Amino acid sequence: MCKNKQSNILEVIINPSQLLMLEFIQTLLQSYQRVLKKNPNDLSINKQYPTRIEQLILAEALLRKNDLVAQNPLLPLQIAIIGPTQAGKSTLVNVLLNNESANVSPLAGYTVHPQGFYHATNLESCNGLQHYFGRFQQLSQTQLSKDRYDCYSLSTVNADSESIPPCVIWDTPDFDSIGSADYKEGVIRTIALADILVLTVSKEKYADQSVWDMMAAIAPLKQPTLICVNKLSEGTESIILNSLQTKWQQARPDAFPLAVSLFYQKQGSVLSWPIAYQPVLHKLSDGVKNRSSSRLHLQFCQYHWQNWMAPIVAEHVASQAWQTIIDEQVNLALTQYLRDYLNHPHHYETFQSAMAELLNLLEIPGVARLLSNTRKVITWPVKQLLKLGRKAHVIADSSQEIHILNQLAEHVLIQLADRLLEKSTETELPSWWKDIALVLRQQRPVLLGEFELHTQHYHEQFKTEIAGAAQRLYLKLQEQPVVLNSLRTTRATADAAVIAMTFYAGGIGLHDLVIAPAMLAVTSLLTESAIGSYVRREEIALKQQQYAQVKQLFAAFLQQKLNTLPTQLPTHNHFNITLQQLQCAEQELSEKRHGLRSF
C-alpha cells in the first residue's frame, strides 16, 4: 500500500487505506470543480464534467458512509425521500411521519437543504453524521437559509407513525430544476446515506429524463426502493404505472420495485398513506442487512474509473509526449555537437590542449631555467591581452566549445517553442500545450543563464581530464626512451617563445596562428612512433569522455529542468495529479493483483 504523506485528523477514525482513497477522491473532485469553474465557455468540459462531479460526490459520500457505519453500528435506519420538483416530497414526509414537520410550499424549489427528522429514535444515536456530511454544517430547521446551501438540519418529531419503523427520514431538495445545480450536492450526500429510497414522482414529472438519469446513476448502490406516484387522477393509474415500469427497465437492470399510488385530494382533504401499504417500509427495513458500502464503493468506482481518469491520463500522455519532444531535440543538439565540435577539423581543440600540457612535461635538464624565464617575458603581453593567468586558461581555451554549447541550448529552446505551437493546434489538450509554451517562454532566460554557468563549470572540471591524458601519454613515453628523447630534441629546437605561448595561451586564436608548426612536429612524431596507436586511442577516449560529460550536462540540467515544466502549469486550468498519486489510488481501489490500468 502506498504510504500517505499527509497528516489529517481523519486518521483517527478512518483506516489508512480508506483515508488515502478519500483524499484522492476529494482531490479529484476539487480538480474537476476548479477546471469547470475556470472554463465556462468550453462546451466539452461543460457537457461532461458536471456528471462526473456528481459521481465523485457520491463516491466520497459512500466512503464516508462506510466509515460512519463502522464507527456507529447502532446508527438508526436512514430513509430518503427523493424526486423532482413539485412532486410532493415534503408532503409525503409529513404523511409518513403523521406530523407537520416538513415545511410545505406550492413554490417550486422551496426545499433546498437536506432535512432529517427523527422518528422513534434520538439525536445521540446519530453520532458521526456531522463528519459524514463533511463541509456541510448542521443547523436547526429554523436557521436554514436560502442564501446558503452547504448545511442540513436534524429535528426530533414528537409523534408516532405506524407507516415507518424507527428511523431518520430525510426530506430532500429536487434534483431537476435550474437552481438545483447549487444545492444538488446535498441531495447526493443524502442519497448515499440512505438505507431505503422513496422515489416520489407526479404524473406530470415521472417521465422527465432527469428522474431516470438520477435513478440510473445510483443503480450501482442497489438500495431498497419504493416508488410513490403522487397526484394521480382516477382512470390514469394503470397507464402511468405501466409507463413508469418501462422507464425503470430502460434505466436500470434491477427489478421494478413496488409503486404506491397517491391520488389528488379534494380541497380541504388531507393526504393519507394507504392502509394497505403501511407494512411496506417496515418490510423493506427488514431487508436492510449489510449497511457497509465498501463493496459498493469499489464497484461504483471501478465502473466509472476510466471516465474519471480520462483528463488526468490525457495530461500524462501529453507530458510523456513533451518529454519525447525534449529528448528528440536534445539528441539533435548532441549530434550537432559532434559535427560542429568534436569531429570538426578546425574547431576541436581539446586533444591539442593535452598536447600543450605534454610539451610542458617534456622539460630538458639544463635548459629548463632558460625556458621558464623566457615564458615569463614572452607571455606577459598575452596575459595582459587575454586577462588570463595559468589557472584560468582552460576556460579561455574552451571558448569555442562554450559558444557552440550555448548556441545549441538556445536552438533547443527555439525548436521546442515551435513544436509547442504546432501541438496547441493539433491535440485534444490545446490549453495544456499553450500553458506549457507560456511557462517555457517565462523560464527561457533563466534556463539559458543557468545552462551557461553549468557549461563553464563543466569546462573547469574537464581540465583535470586533459591533464590526465597528458600524464598518461608522458608515462607511456617513458616506456619508450628513444621516442622520448626524440620529442625532447624537437622541443628543445623549437622556439622557446612559441613553446611558452603553446602552453600559456592554450590554443585560443593564437594557437592556430602561432603554435601550429611546433604542435604539428610533436604530434607527427608521436603518431608515427611506436606508441602511435596508443596516442590515437587516447585521443578517442578523451573525445568519448568529453561527449559523455556534455551529454550528462544536457541530461542533468536542461532535460531535467524542461521535464519539470508541467509541474509549473497553473492549477486552475489543469488537474496536476501525479502519476504516483494515480497509481497509489488504483492500487488501493482494485481487488485484482495487478490493479487497474489507466494507461
Q: Are residues 434 and 497 in the same domain?
A: yes
Summarize the confidence of residues 70-85 as an average pLDDT.
94
Q: Let me know if residue 511 belongs to a domain.
A: yes
Enter the C-alpha cell of residue 467: 591533464
pLDDT higher than threshold 70 for residue 328: yes
The answer on 350 and 464 residing in a single domain is: yes
Same domain, 323 and 284: no
Q: Judge if 262 and 123 occupy the same domain.
A: yes
Residue 442: name the closest of 568, 558, 528 by CA.
568
**DSSP letter for each residue of 531-567:** THHHHHHHHHHHHHHHHHHHHHHIIIIIIHHHHTGGG
What cell was used for 564?
519539470
Task: Kindly state whether residues 189 and 332 are assigned to the same domain.
Answer: no
Domain count, the chain: 2
Calculate the alpha carbon distances from 198 to 55, 80, 263 in Å. 20, 6, 17
Flag whether 578 is in a domain. Answer: no
pLDDT tens readout for residues 243-271: 999 999 999 999 999 999 998 766 556 78
Query: Residue 531: inside a domain, yes or no?
Result: yes
More confident residue, 384 or 121: 121
Residue 285: pLDDT above 50?
A: yes
- The answer to whether residue 420 sits within a structural domain is yes
The model carries a pTM of 0.75
Question: What count of other Cβ atoms lies within 10 Å of the Cβ of residue 79?
Answer: 27
E strands present in 218-337: 225-232, 259-263
What angle, 0 to 180 degrees and rounded to 10, lies between the N-to-C axes of helices 16-38 and 294-337? 70
Residue 417, domain member (yes or no): yes
Domain, as residue range, for 385: 318-568
Q: Between residues 351 and 512, which one has the greater pLDDT? A: 351
Q: To the nearest 5 percent, what fractions of the chain are helix, strand and coil? A: 65, 10, 30
462 with 366, same domain: the answer is yes
The reported pLDDT for the residue numbered 507 is 41
Residue at 162: amino acid letter: E
Residue 431 has pLDDT above 60, yes or no: yes
Q: Tell me: the pLDDT tens digits for 98-148?
A: 999 888 877 777 899 999 999 998 888 888 999 999 999 999 999 999 999
Q: Tell me, yes or no, whether 257 and 325 share the same domain.
A: no
Can you tell me the mean pLDDT for 65-69? 91
- How many H-runs (helices) and E-runs (strands) does the chain carry? 21, 8
* Contact assessment for residue 97 and residue 169, using Cβ atoms and an 8 Å cutoff: yes
Q: What pLDDT is stored for residue 358 in this prediction?
A: 76
Q: 93 with 217, same domain?
A: yes
Q: Residue 190 maps to which CATH number?
A: 3.40.50.300
Q: What is the pLDDT of residue 3?
A: 46
